[in-house]
């Protein structure tokens, strides 16, 4: 991770060690600044580090950024992430706790959770965002910048990887000046195929896979010294097949049913469905950036258009009640977004001490889903439109002290509809909502010397409450409060320092933060409720949501040390403890004591526990995040010359995760402490023109069950007594060996 260091290095050494400082420029505050000058925590991972550590998937950025957890769901449309002690699951339909940006424009997170190539830099900004950058996000923002063409020289690269587990990744790019010094074009592409998560089904002989093909064209135009335009078009086509992994329930819950089905451990990487989850998706992203500098001012425009089409087929016979035949849910998704932002800011300080930024932001997205759930046809429609005005003012009191504050006024509108297609019945009539929140931020920093800065900041954030769909019966008081969720508000406070020591060979950055949530949007585990159908009352299961009070406290430490020209080491540590205190959530409460339990649930027990309501409610005090409270990342590298034209190197990537209770509502999926070690050994050109490396990912072959369900796999609520009880399970990726060859030329 390139989040801290103080030494100046040769370019190839910076890329290899993932450590630098003076030469790393970030845009955390929408302007180019040295990383150590920004009074907030920013983790920057350069494109060179991505190549050196052979990071091929976006979610693998979590291996170099402690406290960050990223995962894409097997459905192809879901994401799960954690940062600063808060977990977000896109299935909850609330806005994310972390917003994503590509080339400065808002982008839907799922579109990034695919193969990566030709990346310039990724920045992870921690803490509330939104006063200066797009949409409000309480936990942070992640920005991705793609490489641009050189206006003067031809350049490019070819990068190929092959592994012993059938993985093939080939990506390349070439940039060409069209009008030297004024117009240039860069073309990049990728071919990526692998066995996804290696989970196979005992009832299906085919193997899982994920195949991606993509390309990107970037046009750079600079007709004069004060006008710059960058236009990027990106296309990606992906097909995927995957099987839901399971484990015999008796492993975690002695006494569970054991039938004729095979005994399976999570380590076996096996499923039991006859069919696989299949995904066929295409995405297109058009992005434009325009800058005009005039009279000491700067006018910026950033806009994007996104088109995403996905066809997902998911097996529904999870208990294999009907061997040899698969029941399916087929979903066709059409997703479109449009964003526009105009900013006016000072390019030169006003009155020699004042910087300002003002602007307007407009974001619109529409999604439709055609759902065929085992013959039941449902259409859904969602539209979101967000418009905001923002401003930020920074006063420089001398050369060493800075006071900054910003505000953003948001107008958020949404519209939702759900229709039972076959009968033309509106399960959810057209519903519109509107909110007009205001968020703010303020900070102060003081530099006691060129090598030591302290800062303090505070900020607020906001998320719109989701409209929870799926319960189609008259609402009771409990159903109403667990389905109609109000917006969430939060406030955060942070202090920290950034320092360089030992003749700029050591960098140490430390921060501490506290965050309060008013009405945190919580999505719970599936619970039973009383449904009303044509034949009367029946038990159904649903993932309800709730507004709960929550707090997070945390500490983050970044250290980089270069004791010699041949060895360097960076270490990063993140601790965040989030807690819900006395939050009212929907629950299964078989004995009516107000505490969630796993006892048998009946219509009578629900009514008894809830006073006649359709769903029980419990007061809980529990963890806020599924991620570990803390994690540690180490990235050492040693390099030495072999000849005048060849250098040798060995580098490592070590991540440590402590014991983790995981899902606070699931007593059976606690994860024991584990570590992951990647090792890279190879040779390279001293000028970084080529590199050949052998690598091992999960070198120690660490084996851990990462998630485990607490309920047996069922088909429409019915288990398979003959086949036996299984629970969902995921496992660490197996050890993988590979070779990487990279060649770069010209401006690269």
Average pLDDT for 306-316: 94
The share of the chain scoring above pLDDT 70, in percent, equals 95
In a domain, 4, yes or no: no
638: domain range? Answer: 11-746
Q: What is the pLDDT of residue 80?
A: 79
In a domain, 3, yes or no: no
In a domain, 513, yes or no: yes
CA distance 669 to 661: 7
Q: What is the pLDDT of residue 667?
A: 85
| CA 709 and chain centroid, separation | 22
Q: How many domains does the chain have?
A: 1
Q: Is the pLDDT of residue 131 over 70?
A: yes
CB 281 within 8 A of CB 308: yes
Q: Is the pLDDT of residue 15 over 50?
A: no
Q: What is the pLDDT of residue 75?
A: 52
Q: Is the pLDDT of residue 659 over 90?
A: yes
CB 102 within 8 A of CB 122: no
229: closest CA among 184, 288, 185? 288
Q: What is the pLDDT of residue 73?
A: 61
Better-scored residue on pLDDT, 26 or 648:
648
Name the band, by pLDDT with cuts 50, 70 and 90, for residue 666: confident
Q: Which residues of 4-15 are buried (b: 16+ CB within 10 A; e: fewer)?
A: bbbbebeebbbb
Q: What is the pLDDT of residue 469?
A: 77
Name the band, by pLDDT with cuts 50, 70 and 90, for residue 12: very low
For residue 649, give the 3-state DSSP assignment. strand
Q: What is the pLDDT of residue 13?
A: 37
Q: Residues near 312 by Cβ (< 8 Å), separated by ≥ 6?
A: 75, 76, 77, 277, 278, 279, 280, 330, 331, 333
CA distance 141 to 124: 6
Name the band, by pLDDT with cuts 50, 70 and 90, for residue 5: very low
Dump pLDDT digits (tens) for 459-509: 999 999 988 878 888 899 999 999 999 999 999 999 999 999 998 899 999
- Which region among 448-457, 519-528, 568-577 has the lowest average model confidence (pLDDT)? 519-528
Dump pLDDT digits (tens) for 603-619: 999 999 999 999 999 99
CA distance 376 to 389: 44
In a domain, 6, yes or no: no
For residue 72, give the 3-state DSSP assignment. strand
CA distance 297 to 490: 34
Q: Is the pLDDT of residue 647 over 90?
A: yes
CA distance 547 to 525: 15
Dump pLDDT digits (tens) for 248-307: 999 999 989 898 999 999 999 999 999 999 999 999 999 999 999 999 999 999 999 999
Average pLDDT for 530-559: 91
Q: What is the pLDDT of residue 298?
A: 97
Q: What is the pLDDT of residue 11?
A: 35
CA distance 285 to 305: 6
Dump pLDDT digits (tens) for 40-82: 999 999 888 999 999 998 889 999 999 998 877 655 556 778 9
Average pLDDT for 403-416: 95
Better-scored residue on pLDDT, 423 or 572:
572
In a domain, 262, yes or no: yes
Q: What is the pLDDT of residue 25?
A: 87
CATH number at residue 212: 2.40.170.20
Better-scored residue on pLDDT, 130 or 650:
650
In a domain, 522, yes or no: yes
Average pLDDT for 421-429: 70
Q: What is the pLDDT of residue 78?
A: 64
Q: What is the pLDDT of residue 402?
A: 96
Name the band, by pLDDT with cuts 50, 70 and 90, for residue 3: very low
How high is the mean pLDDT of the chain? Answer: 90
Q: What is the pLDDT of residue 391?
A: 96
In a domain, 24, yes or no: yes
In a domain, 737, yes or no: yes
């Amino acid at each position: 991770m390139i989040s801290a260091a103080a030494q100046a290095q040769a370019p190839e050494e910076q890329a290899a060690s993932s450590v630098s400082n003076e030469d790393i420029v970030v845009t955390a505050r929408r302007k180019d600044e040295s990383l150590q000058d920004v009074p907030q925590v920013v983790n920057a991972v350069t494109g060179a580090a991505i190549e050196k550590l052979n990071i091929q998937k976006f979610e693998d950025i979590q291996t170099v950024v402690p406290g960050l957890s990223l995962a894409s769901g097997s459905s192809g449309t879901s994401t799960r992430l954690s940062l600063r002690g808060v977990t977000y699951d896109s299935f909850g339909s609330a806005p994310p706790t972390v917003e994503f940006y590509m080339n400065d424009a808002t982008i839907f997170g799922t579109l990034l959770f695919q193969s990566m190539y030709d990346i310039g830099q990724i920045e992870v900004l921690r803490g509330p965002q939104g006063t200066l950058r797009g949409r409000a996000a309480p936990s942070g923002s992640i920005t991705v910048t793609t490489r641009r063409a050189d206006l003067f020289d031809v350049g490019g690269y070819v990068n190929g990887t092959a592994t012993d587990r059938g993985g093939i990744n080939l990506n390349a790019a070439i940039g060409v000046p069209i009008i030297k010094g004024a117009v240039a074009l860069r073309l990049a592409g990728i071919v990526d195929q692998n066995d996804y998560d290696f989970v196979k089904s005992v009832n299906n002989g085919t193997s899982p896979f994920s195949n991606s093909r993509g390309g990107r064209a970037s046009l750079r135009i600079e007709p004069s010294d004060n006008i710059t335009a960058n236009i990027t078009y990106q296309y990606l086509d992906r097909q995927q097949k995957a099987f839901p992994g399971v484990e015999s329930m008796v492993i975690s819950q002695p006494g569970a049913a054991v039938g004729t089905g095979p005994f399976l451990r999570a380590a076996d990487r096996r499923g039991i469905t006859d069919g696989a989850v299949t995904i066929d998706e295409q995405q297109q992203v058009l992005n434009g950036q325009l800058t005009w500098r005039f009279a000491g001012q700067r006018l910026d425009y950033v806009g994007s258009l996104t088109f995403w089409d996905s066809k997902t087929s998911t097996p529904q016979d999870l208990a294999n009640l009907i061997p040899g035949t698969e029941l399916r849910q087929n979903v066709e998704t059409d997703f479109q977004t449009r964003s526009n932002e105009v900013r006016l800011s000072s390019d030169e300080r006003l009155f020699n001490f004042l910087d300002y930024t003002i602007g307007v932001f407009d974001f619109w997205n529409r999604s439709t889903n055609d759902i065929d759930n085992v013959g039941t046809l449902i259409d859904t429609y969602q539209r979101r439109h967000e418009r905001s005005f923002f401003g930020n003012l920074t006063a420089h009191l001398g050369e060493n002290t800075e006071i900054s504050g910003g505000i953003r006024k948001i107008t958020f509108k949404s519209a939702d509809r759900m229709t039972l297609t076959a009968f033309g019945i509106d399960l959810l009539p057209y519903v519109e909502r509107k909110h007009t929140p205001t968020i703010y931020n303020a900070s102060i920093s003081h530099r006691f010397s060129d090598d030591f800065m302290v800062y303090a900041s505070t900020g607020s954030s906001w998320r719109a409450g989701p409209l929870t769909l799926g319960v189609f019966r008259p609402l009771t008081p409990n159903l109403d409060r667990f389905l109609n969720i109000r917006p969430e508000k939060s406030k955060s406070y942070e202090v920290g320092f950034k320092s360089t020591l030992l003749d700029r060979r050591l960098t140490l950055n430390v921060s501490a933060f506290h965050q309060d949530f008013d009405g945190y949007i919580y999505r719970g585990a599936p619970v039973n409720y009383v449904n009303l159908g044509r034949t009367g009352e029946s038990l159904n299961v649903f993932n309800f949501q709730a507004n709960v009070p929550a707090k997070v406290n945390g500490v983050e430490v970044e250290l980089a040390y270069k004791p010699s020209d041949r060895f360097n080491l960076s270490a990063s540590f993140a601790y965040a403890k989030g807690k819900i205190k006395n939050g009212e959530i929907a629950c299964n409460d078989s004995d009516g004591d107000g505490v969630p339990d796993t006892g048998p649930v009946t219509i009578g027990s629900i009514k008894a526990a809830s006073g006649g309501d359709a769903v029980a409610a419990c007061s809980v005090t529990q963890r806020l995040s599924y991620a570990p409270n803390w994690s540690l990342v180490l990235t050492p590298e040693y390099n030495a010359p072999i000849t005048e034209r060849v250098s040798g190197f060995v580098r490592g990537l070590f991540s440590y995760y402590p014991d983790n209770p995981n899902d606070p509502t699931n007593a059976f999926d606690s994860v024991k402490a584990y570590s992951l070690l990647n090792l890279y050994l190879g040779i390279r050109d001293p000028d970084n023109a080529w590199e050949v490396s052998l690598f091992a990912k999960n070198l120690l072959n660490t084996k851990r069950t990462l998630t485990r369900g607490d309920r047996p796999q069922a088909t429409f609520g019915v288990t398979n007594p003959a086949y036996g009880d299984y629970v969902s399970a995921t496992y660490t990726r197996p050890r993988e060996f590979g070779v990487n060859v990279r060649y770069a030329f010209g401006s690269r």
